[in-house]
Amino acid sequence: MKRISILGSTGSIGQNTIDLVRRDPAAFQVVALTGGQNIDQLARDAKELKAEVAVTADDARLDDLRTALKGTKIEAAAGAEALIEAAQRPAHWVMSAIVGSAGLRPGLAALEQGATLALANKESLVAAGPLVMKTARTNGARILPVDSEHSAIFQALRGEDSAAVTRIIITASGGAFRDWPLEDLERATPEQAATHPNWDMGQRITIDSASMFNKALEMIEAREFFGFAPNQIEVLIHPESLVHAMVAYCDGGIIAHVGPHDMRHAIGHAMYWPERYPLPVEQLNLAAVGQLNFHEPDLRRYPVLRLAREVMDERGFSGAIFNAAKERALDHFIAGHIGFCDMCDIVEEVLARLSSEDSLNSAGFTLETVLEADQLARARADDVVKERTR
Ligand X SMILES: CC(=O)[C@@H](O)[C@H](O)COP(=O)(O)O
Q: Rule CB under 6 A: is residue 369 a binding residue for ligand NDP? A: no
Residue 279 and residue 118: Cα distance in Å, rounded? 17
Residues 209-248 within binding reach of ligand X (CB under 6 A): 209, 214-215, 241
Q: Rule CB under 6 A: is residue 18 a binding residue for ligand NDP? A: no
Q: Rule CB under 6 A: is residue 41 a binding residue for ligand X? A: no
Q: Rule CB under 6 A: is residue 13 a binding residue for ligand NDP? A: yes
The stretch near Mn ion (CB under 5 A) out of 16-24, 142-150, 165-173, 288-296 is 142-150
Asked whether the bond before 278 is cis by omega within 30 degrees of 0, the reply is: no
- Judged by CB, which is closer to ligand NDP: 212, or 360? 212
The stretch near ligand NDP (CB under 6 A) out of 97-105, 158-166, 299-307, 344-352 is 97-105
Q: Which of Mn ion, ligand X, ligand NDP, none is residue 172 near (CB under 5 to 8 Å by kind)?
A: ligand X
Residue 74 and residue 226: Cα distance in Å, rounded? 39
Torsion angles phi and psi, residue 380, rounded to 5: -65, -40
**Whole-number minimum distance, CB 311 to ligand X, in Å?**
17
Residue 51 and residue 49: Cα distance in Å, rounded? 6
Q: Rule CB under 6 A: is residue 263 a binding residue for ligand NDP? A: yes
The stretch near Mn ion (CB under 5 A) out of 141-149, 166-174, 278-286, 335-343 is 141-149
Q: Which of ligand X, ligand NDP, Mn ion, none is residue 176 near (CB under 5 to 8 Å by kind)?
A: none
**Whole-number minimum distance, CB 372 to Mn ion, in Å?**
28
Q: Rule CB under 6 A: is residue 116 a binding residue for ligand NDP? A: no
Nearest residue to 244 via CA among 357, 147, 346? 147
Tell the burial category of 170 from Cβ atoms under 10 Å away from its Cβ (0-12, 13-18, 19+): buried
Residue 112 and residue 270: Cα distance in Å, rounded? 19
Nearest residue to 155 via CA among 144, 171, 166? 144
Half-sphere exposure of 275 (CA within 13 A, CB side): 5
Contact residues toward ligand X (CB under 6 A) are 147-149, 172-173, 175, 199, 205, 209, 214-215, 241, 263
